[in-house]
Amino acid sequence: MAALFRPWTNTAFRVALVAIALGAVAVVVAPMIYVRTPQWRRQLDPVDQPVQFDHRHHVQDDGIDCLYCHQLATVSPTAGIPSTDLCMGCHNQIWNDSPMLEPVRRSWFSGQPIPWNRVHDVPDFVYFNHAIHVTQGIGCESCHGRVDRMGSVYQVADLSMGWCLDCHRQPERFVRPKNLVTEMGYRPDDQAERGRALVQEYGTRSVTTCTACHR
Ligand code: HEC
Ligand code: HEC
Ligand code: HEC
Ligand code: HEC
Ligand code: HEC
């Protein structure tokens, strides 16, 4: 009697099995990879804002320190976005009829805050605190990049747990003198040595216990 299935069908069957298995794995793994990509995290996308506020003008051209506008960063968990009053301290005199500043004037006269859109946002189950970092000599640039060169602010780091831990395991790679936390472009040649000395001087710990960030 002729064989019901020819020999080659064995091979075809095995190939099909492997393909189905791979397909099943891909269905599970592909989204896991995708949610970790910068596209999904909206990292590197400049965020549109109600006012075209430009850090390049204010920080680079006018030399205003980060802490003039984000002064909460040294004393509180959040760095905060400055109030309209602070903008108007300058802008009722300079550029006071610029159409680009119309929403700022409207906010000032109406008392309604400018509805800025958030750029950075860690999930609620993560505890983050600016003051702890800034007062231990971790610079804004280490986490936010060259904000002084950004037309609109975008997220530079992926803010993943791995990213936090990467620094927490070896803070000496990033620490800088406390009085230079807002300096942009700080790149000493001998960070390895200086970092180790600063970590010793500041008594910086390597914090990796889960409950530090998940409380
Ligand atoms: C003149 C005031 C001013 C100065 C100076 C300033 N900022 Fe800002 N910053 C703002 C305003 C207003 C926003 C909200 C609009 C935006 O996101 O662009 C902002 C937003 C940001 C954000 C994004 C916030 C979010 O939603 O996640 C970061 C990060 C930031 N600033 C860092 C810095 C750093 C670092 C410096 C110093 C190099 C600096 N800023 C200097 C006013 C200022
Ligand atoms: C310490 C003074 C100062 C403060 C505070 C300040 N600005 Fe400015 N701003 C300037 C100067 C100076 C310019 C002109 C910039 C340039 O061209 O170099 C400017 C320019 C601008 C422009 C561009 C205007 C145009 O027509 O080109 C916008 C928009 C603006 N600022 C928004 C803001 C907002 C919003 C705030 C508050 C978060 C703010 N500024 C706080 C000094 C200030
Ligand atoms: C160790 C990393 C780190 C350092 C250092 C750091 N930031 Fe942030 N920043 C973050 C994270 C993470 C968020 C998002 C926080 C959240 O979602 O609650 C954030 C949010 C912000 C925001 C949005 C408003 C807020 O407070 O949530 C501003 C503005 C800001 N940072 C400015 C600064 C400035 C200015 C400095 C330096 C003086 C600085 N940051 C230093 C990590 C850092
Ligand atoms: C560039 C370095 C750096 C990055 C990135 C960083 N940290 Fe830290 N973090 C530090 C240093 C340094 C300390 C201070 C350790 C000490 O107090 O000795 C610290 C302390 C903390 C503390 C206080 C821990 C305690 O028990 O006192 C928390 C909470 C924290 N970080 C959360 C985070 C989270 C969440 C992220 C990521 C979103 C993050 N950090 C990213 C350097 C960093
Ligand atoms: C330095 C801060 C920090 C420490 C320490 C830390 N985590 Fe996280 N963890 C984070 C951040 C930030 C996220 C959010 C990541 C994201 O948005 O992708 C996170 C997310 C998670 C998640 C959600 C799943 C995921 O991967 O997004 C779990 C589960 C978790 N952490 C468990 C732990 C455990 C267990 C430990 C101790 C071994 C730990 N974490 C220590 C910062 C930390």
Is 18 a residue whose pLDDT tops 90? no
Q: How far is CA 36 from CA 30, 85, 95, 151, in A?
A: 10, 39, 42, 26
Q: From the CA of 126, how far away is ligand 5's center (Å)?
A: 7
Any ligand 5 atom below 6 A from CB of 120: no
Instruction: Give the pLDDT band (50/70/90) at residue 2.
Output: low
Report the pLDDT averaged over residues 170-176: 97
pLDDT of residue 207: 96
Find out whether 180 and 152 touch, Cβ atoms under 8 Å: no
Question: What would the pLDDT profile of 22-52 be if each residue is shown by its tens digit?
Answer: 888 888 887 777 777 766 666 667 788 999 9
Ligand 3 pocket, residue 59 CB under 6 Å:
no
Closest C-alpha to 142, from 82, 201, 190, 183:
183
| Contacting residues for 149 by C-beta, under 8 A, at least 6 apart | 55, 56, 60, 184
| pLDDT of 23 | 82
Q: Amino acid identity, residue 84? A: T
